[in-house]
Amino acid sequence: MIYLALGSNLSGAFANSAQLIGAAIDNLPLCGAHEVARAPLYRSAAIGPMGDGQAQGDYINTVVAVRSVAPAIGLLQRLHVLEMAFGRERRETWGPRTLDIDILSYHDEIHAHGAQIPHPRLSGRAFVLYPLRDIAPGWRHPISGVGVSALIKRLPADARLGTEKLQPTLNSLEN
């Protein structure tokens, strides 16, 4: 199985962050990826630099399980095109963005050239691990072999603070 993380903390020209993520998932077939499972949305505090002298807004995040016959690097390239179609501009590392899509893991394969898979920072990010556990409670890290629940337990308390599951109501999705 292939697991993708999606995040957004900037509204696009036509939608808020939650709507952008939903539309991006709906458009994954254009990248050759077909949704198998979708985790609930989570809100998390931004990691990264301030934008224009102001703190970044919170992120909306989720994880989806997909199937694809595209090779990992080809899929990643297609996902970058989808990000750009949704207004993503790569100006600074960890800066605000309309859409970010990362390949968390790709069939337990390990890639170091062209793309780092599994994602090198997934083990330390509550906003990735919580939704991953929602759809794949038995998932194990391809390198360490550690399960997703154990990875969550290893997170420092401050890394878990500020990550909350959103209720699927209209009010909670209005960013």
Catalytic annotation, residues: 88, 97, 100, 102
Structure tokens at 41: 């949305």
Instruction: Evaluate whether 24 touches 6 at the Cβ level (below 8 Å).
Output: yes
Sequence-ordered alpha helix ranges (H) in the chain? 17-26, 72-85, 126-135, 148-154, 157-160
How many residues are there in the chain? Answer: 175
Side-chain-side CA neighbours of 35 within 13 Å: the count stands at 17
